Amino acid sequence: MILHRLRNYTARVFEGNGKYRRIGRALDVFLMSLIMVNVVAIVLESVGPLAKQYHHEFLMIELISVGIFTLEYVLRLWSCVDKSVHKESPLTNSKIRIKYFFSPLALIDLIAILPTILMVFVSVDLRFLRVLRLMRIFKLTRYSRAMQLLLNSFKEESSSLLAAFFIMAVVLIIASCGIYLIEHDVQPDKFGSIPAAMWWAMVTLTTVGYGDVVPVTPLGRLFGGAITLVSMGMVAIPTGLLASSFSEQLRKRRQVFTDAVHEAVEDGHLSPVEEEHLENLRYKLGLSQQEANKAIHNELKNRNRNLYCRHCGKRQD
Amino acid sequence: MILHRLRNYTARVFEGNGKYRRIGRALDVFLMSLIMVNVVAIVLESVGPLAKQYHHEFLMIELISVGIFTLEYVLRLWSCVDKSVHKESPLTNSKIRIKYFFSPLALIDLIAILPTILMVFVSVDLRFLRVLRLMRIFKLTRYSRAMQLLLNSFKEESSSLLAAFFIMAVVLIIASCGIYLIEHDVQPDKFGSIPAAMWWAMVTLTTVGYGDVVPVTPLGRLFGGAITLVSMGMVAIPTGLLASSFSEQLRKRRQVFTDAVHEAVEDGHLSPVEEEHLENLRYKLGLSQQEANKAIHNELKNRNRNLYCRHCGKRQD
Amino acid sequence: MILHRLRNYTARVFEGNGKYRRIGRALDVFLMSLIMVNVVAIVLESVGPLAKQYHHEFLMIELISVGIFTLEYVLRLWSCVDKSVHKESPLTNSKIRIKYFFSPLALIDLIAILPTILMVFVSVDLRFLRVLRLMRIFKLTRYSRAMQLLLNSFKEESSSLLAAFFIMAVVLIIASCGIYLIEHDVQPDKFGSIPAAMWWAMVTLTTVGYGDVVPVTPLGRLFGGAITLVSMGMVAIPTGLLASSFSEQLRKRRQVFTDAVHEAVEDGHLSPVEEEHLENLRYKLGLSQQEANKAIHNELKNRNRNLYCRHCGKRQD
Amino acid sequence: MILHRLRNYTARVFEGNGKYRRIGRALDVFLMSLIMVNVVAIVLESVGPLAKQYHHEFLMIELISVGIFTLEYVLRLWSCVDKSVHKESPLTNSKIRIKYFFSPLALIDLIAILPTILMVFVSVDLRFLRVLRLMRIFKLTRYSRAMQLLLNSFKEESSSLLAAFFIMAVVLIIASCGIYLIEHDVQPDKFGSIPAAMWWAMVTLTTVGYGDVVPVTPLGRLFGGAITLVSMGMVAIPTGLLASSFSEQLRKRRQVFTDAVHEAVEDGHLSPVEEEHLENLRYKLGLSQQEANKAIHNELKNRNRNLYCRHCGKRQD
């Protein structure tokens, strides 16, 4: 029975709603900080001299972190059956756990601890495995609204972006074939095959332009010049799509909050329950305290200026 | 008579309408896959070791593909007289065929098979011809909505883009002449003539910046710095034009579908014929199943919210 | 008297209005072609071998062109007093000529012929003078709507662009001072002074990135990385300003034409005088025949659809 | 008493309002010019030969400038208690001075003179200190509307920019780890550690592309090509955010002026007091004389066209 209540308490804290908000957020901040410390440590560990000098410290950070992450993973897996969304679920506990186990966030959590566990138990110590630990940066997805925004942008514009990338692929193939035909005989080491020429084409079409591989014949430079011109168009299309979509996502997010505020202030004042609800929404949407206050302030001001109809509550513009 | 019905059947399948939709789309998918396999094969064949090791396999892919493409080409040319658009045409069959023969899509189909036929029959085996086979990537134009979108964007913005390119040409000439005057004596191998200096100007104005040719004198760097500043403006104009035009094309395409949906749900429900019609339109416009469903769902919801006038059916905004 | 009428005729042709439209445009096309031939010739003449082989041909092109341009210049100066705008001018002929002489377009015409005249009469033959002949590319300004559009964009956004360039200048100075402090001791040949370091800063801030001068110390690379990040912002601001302004200019230009069409079709049909007027406007605004026809077609269609109020003539949206 | 009135006069001149406008602006222009002369001098002084040849001149400029700046600083600190904003302040003079002392603008003023004072009195002569004098470029912030615009843009879009930079940081770490794993063994000098690989990742993700560090293995180039593709998206997001925000700031600034003009012309004419007020506002907002006149002209025209309600004065759109 005690175990049952403990499990329920754990689930509440991870969710961070209601009276568990304070402790839930503290836990979030702690775990985010730990992830960042880990990422910095792994990056610095790749520097030879530092790795030698602070070998012990890096090992301590790693072991403690993995310990905490493992504990977190186990607790999440154990308490997931008590999540509010499963309250009325007809699934058995084990089925919920299996479903949770294969959810993307849980898999990321597992991948974050796996390399170290492998290194410790199987006693392999490969650089590949050590760098793989950086995958735990994806654990931030759970907390980061920015990443969710970007994912939403990609999802919304997926068909347009696919169209843009298809065009890019066609242009890439034409560019690399053209330069291969023209420059192959003069620079066989650099334009030895079409896949090799694709490196030049890619670097040019994205306007990165390293300059390690460049056409040298007059015809090659004429063709290359035409491709640099095309590159401007290639950059323009995804830029326009992503930029407008990202702004749109941010606008929508603010709109959701503004709408909720409007609903809450309809009766002329903010009750503590409404405030609590808005605060939760603000946190979930990743808006800053300042932005939220401004939105609430504006909404109250608009109400007084009769911007909304007193009868039907609809905006009058 | 049998031949006549076969020809009619072929035309229906290529058009892929009505009850031939399923088989028509299957054919589309098959031909698109074949084109992509071909492109990958030709690209990989340019890699020396791979070409030697898998010489036989590449040859098989090529021969089978060209066989299928030739068959497709012949069938399209043969059956084009039975296309629905020609049903009431007063032209004779041979005139329709000649007209089809010189249509862009038919010419692309011909170019796609010509190099291999030349290689086989005339027994020439030039690298140039082998790479020319990549022209069959343009066969995708028939299926790709993305490419049609881009072509439309270019058409719509053609006068603006021409204006932008004219300005770019003038700036290019001024930049290359300036740098030629300044750097010619110090780097005669790199800025030997104005056309040679154009390579630097082009690479700079598009912000690619390889760095294989750079000014070295203080005056040249001052002038070069000014040109890099100008390059930002040069990139800005076509970027803005293309980005907004491409988004506009996508918006229009969705609007066409939404309008069709609106017309279809005007009587309150979707009949099977209407659904069939919408499905065809969706496929033709290249919208995803998900987007289409969302549009239909929104339209039905809007209807219930009286967004459209009950009398005239016009949108009330 | 004959001379007077000839002068008047010349002025009419240069203006290209009314019944002189056809010949005026033919003259425009001829002069534009000649300018372009000249530019191509001067560019090609800078290529050593070509200059030797076709020395005679280049000289012929040059002499004939300068002859024609000189004739054009003299005729324009002579006939400028008969321009329609001066019909009721109280200025004396010589004052009009002096005023015209110092107008930008007339100065460009003079600069276009001056270098060759200097070379012929003063017998100097400097490369500098030869390249200066390229200034005649600016003669195209008279005919190019694109260049006028760009100039308008710059004028409209001048205060915003100045703000952007001021910020860029401050960032440039900070970037070059920082890198000078950090990298001066390690690469005294590349970062020997702040002006020298400005070359790196400029190339980086515009994202051109030649790579001829790069930081090599860890601290320099950290600072350089921060500057590359800033460069994205630096590129963003003028890009956004110019892109939106250029599109706006194009939109306005079309609007002017649409408004004129609307006024012309108000009575339900296009009279020959109205057509003549619209055609002149279309040419002046640099719209394509196709765009103009589409605008007229739309306007007529809108009229039939009662988009404009039958009573007040105002658009109903 | 005389001292008191002098202090009050100084405060008025620094504020430049009312009848002190002319002298206040003259002082602004003088100080801005002096700052610019200083910046140019410091930049040129870093060039070895120039520093030697004009050693005396540079010293003179420096000493005189620092003298003036010190005087300005002292006067500002002394007179700040008489600022209009403090007229009814309950704070004591010393508290106002301490508060002013720690304001950002006052700190910048202090930093601008400190290095030279240190060099003179402590007799140290480090290059670091000499370059630090360039910090006085930030003194321009006081006068520059452009910089205030940029700061506002950053403030408004801070949460969005933070989101974008967070995504960039994650992509940066993934890119540098990937390339480190792939290229470390082949190019240990260039990709020796993850921080070293970050230089490549940063240069690529911002599309600067120096080319001093590039992947050479086929796998590295495949990964690098993918990262160049991602770089287009990375550039797109802050570009879109900043570009739209900067334009928005400029639009708002103009709106503030237009609103003020509207209020001023409500009674049908501009009184001298209203004109004085508008002129002050125009200067404060950094609008050009031309823009301001256009706005006033439009507003008067609109008034005549009854765009504003005759009764309540509100805009009718």
The whole-angstrom separation of Cα B48 and Cα B34 is 23
The whole-angstrom separation of Cα B149 and Cα B147 is 5
> How many angstroms away from the CA of A124 is the closest CA of chain B?
35
Chain D residue whose CA is closest to B212: D211
Q: Does pLDDT of C162 surpass 70?
A: yes
Listed residue (D55, B200, C96) closest to A228, CA to CA: B200
Residue C303: predicted pLDDT:
64
The whole-angstrom separation of Cα D179 and Cα D99 is 51
Q: What H or E segment, with its residue span, contains residue C44?
A: helix C21-45
The whole-angstrom separation of Cα C237 and Cα C23 is 45
Q: Do D203 and C236 touch (CB under 8 A)?
A: no
Q: Which residues of C touch D234 (CB under 8 A)?
A: 232
D53–chain A Cβ distance below 8 A for any pair = no
Phi first, then psi: what are they for A308, rounded to 5°?
-105, 140
Cβ(A270)–Cβ(A241) below 8 Å? no
pLDDT tier, C268 (very low <50, low <70, confident <90, very high otherwise): low
Question: How many helices (H) and strands (E) would you count in chain C?
Answer: 13, 0
User: How much is the average pLDDT of A80-93?
Assistant: 74
Q: Does pLDDT of B16 surpass 50?
A: yes
Task: Tell me the pLDDT of chain A averaged across its residues.
Answer: 81
pLDDT tens sequence across C182-216: 998 899 888 988 888 999 999 999 988 898 889 99
User: Which ipTM value was assigned to this complex?
Assistant: 0.80
**Residue among D131, D144, D250 minimizing CB distance to C166:** D144
Beta bridge partners, D308, equal D315
Count CA atoms closer than 13 A to D192's CA, side-chain side. 8
A58–chain D Cβ distance below 8 A for any pair = no
Show which of residues 134-163 on chain D sit within 8 Å of chain A, judged by CB atoms.
158-160, 162-163
Beta bridge partners, B308, equal B315
**Contacting residues for B269 by C-beta, under 8 A, at least 6 apart:** none
CA distances from D281 to A26, A181, D289 (A): 47, 64, 11
Q: Do A246 and D240 touch (CB under 8 A)?
A: yes
B293–chain A Cβ distance below 8 A for any pair = no
Position of tokens 């967070």? D166
Q: Does pLDDT of B317 surpass 50?
A: no
The whole-angstrom separation of Cα A249 and Cα B169 is 38
Q: Does pLDDT of A305 surpass 60?
A: no
C166–chain A Cβ distance below 8 A for any pair = no
User: How much is the average pLDDT of A127-137?
Assistant: 77
Q: Do D207 and B207 touch (CB under 8 A)?
A: yes
D198–chain C Cβ distance below 8 A for any pair = yes
Q: B241 or D95: which carries more pLDDT confidence?
A: D95
Task: Tell me the pLDDT of chain B averaged across its residues.
Answer: 81
Percent of chain B at pLDDT > 70 equals: 88
Q: Do C46 and B181 touch (CB under 8 A)?
A: no
Q: What H or E segment, with its residue span, contains residue C250?
A: helix C218-264
Under 8 Å CB pairs connecting chains C and D tally to 126
Q: Does pLDDT of C269 surpass 80?
A: no
**Residue among D147, D234, D243 minimizing CB distance to C240:** D243
The amino acid occupying position A243 is: A
Q: D287 or A216: which carries more pLDDT confidence?
A: A216
Phi first, then psi: what are they for D198, rounded to 5°?
-65, -30
Residue A219: predicted pLDDT:
92
Residue B200: predicted pLDDT:
93
Burial of A71 (0-12, 13-18, 19+ CB in 10 A): exposed
pLDDT tens sequence across A51-67: 889 888 888 898 899 89
**Residue among A210, A241, A243 minimizing CB distance to D214:** A210
Q: Do A291 and D159 touch (CB under 8 A)?
A: yes
Phi first, then psi: what are they for A281, rounded to 5°?
-65, -45
Cβ(C239)–Cβ(B235) below 8 Å? yes
User: How much is the average pLDDT of C70-86?
Assistant: 84
pLDDT tier, A317 (very low <50, low <70, confident <90, very high otherwise): very low
pLDDT tens sequence across A135-145: 888 888 777 76
CA distances from A202 to A195, A208, B207 (A): 11, 9, 15
Residue C94: predicted pLDDT:
82
Secondary structure (3-state) at C51: helix
Q: Does pLDDT of C309 surpass 70?
A: no
Residue A221: predicted pLDDT:
93
Instruction: Among B152-166, B300-314, C6-20, name the one with the lowest average pLDDT.
Output: B300-314
The whole-angstrom separation of Cα D222 and Cα A177 is 17
Cβ(D14)–Cβ(D24) below 8 Å? yes
User: How much is the average pLDDT of C7-14?
Assistant: 84
User: Which ranges of chain D have pLDDT less than 70?
Assistant: 18, 86-89, 123-127, 145-146, 243-244, 246-247, 267-268, 286, 302-317
Residue D260: predicted pLDDT:
82
pLDDT tens sequence across B165-189: 888 888 999 999 899 989 988 998 8
The whole-angstrom separation of Cα B278 and Cα B292 is 9
Q: How far from each other are the two terminal CA atoms of chain B, in whole angstroms?
A: 57
DSSP-assigned states of every residue in D253-305: HHHHHHHHHHHHGGGSS--HHHHHHHHHHHHHHT--HHHHHHHHHHHHHHHHT
Q: Do A210 and C207 touch (CB under 8 A)?
A: no
Percent of chain C at pLDDT > 70 equals: 87
The whole-angstrom separation of Cα D48 and Cα D54 is 10
The phi-psi region of residue A17 (left if phi > 0; otherwise alpha if psi is between -120 and 50; otherwise beta) is beta
Q: Does pLDDT of A204 surpass 60?
A: yes
Q: Which residues of A touch D312 (CB under 8 A)?
A: none
Q: Do C207 and A207 touch (CB under 8 A)?
A: yes
Q: Which residues of C touch D144 (CB under 8 A)?
A: 166
Chain C residue whose CA is closest to A204: C208
Q: Contact partners of A by the rule of 3+ C-beta pairs under 8 A? A: B, C, D
The amino acid occupying position A57 is: E
Percent of chain A at pLDDT > 90 equals: 13
Q: Which residues of B touch C250 (CB under 8 A)?
A: 160, 163
Residue A16: predicted pLDDT:
76
Instruction: Among A198-212, B218-232, C283-297, D61-75, name the one with the lowest average pLDDT.
Output: C283-297
Burial of A96 (0-12, 13-18, 19+ CB in 10 A): middle
The amino acid occupying position B150 is: L
> How many angstroms away from the CA of D194 is the closest CA of chain A?
6
Beta bridge partners, A315, equal A308
Chain A residue whose CA is closest to D163: A146
pLDDT tier, A227 (very low <50, low <70, confident <90, very high otherwise): very high
Task: Tell me the pLDDT of chain C averaged across its residues.
Answer: 81
Q: Contact partners of B by the rule of 3+ C-beta pairs under 8 A? A: A, C, D
C211–chain A Cβ distance below 8 A for any pair = yes
Q: Which residues of A touch D184 (CB under 8 A)?
A: 127
Residue C220: predicted pLDDT:
92
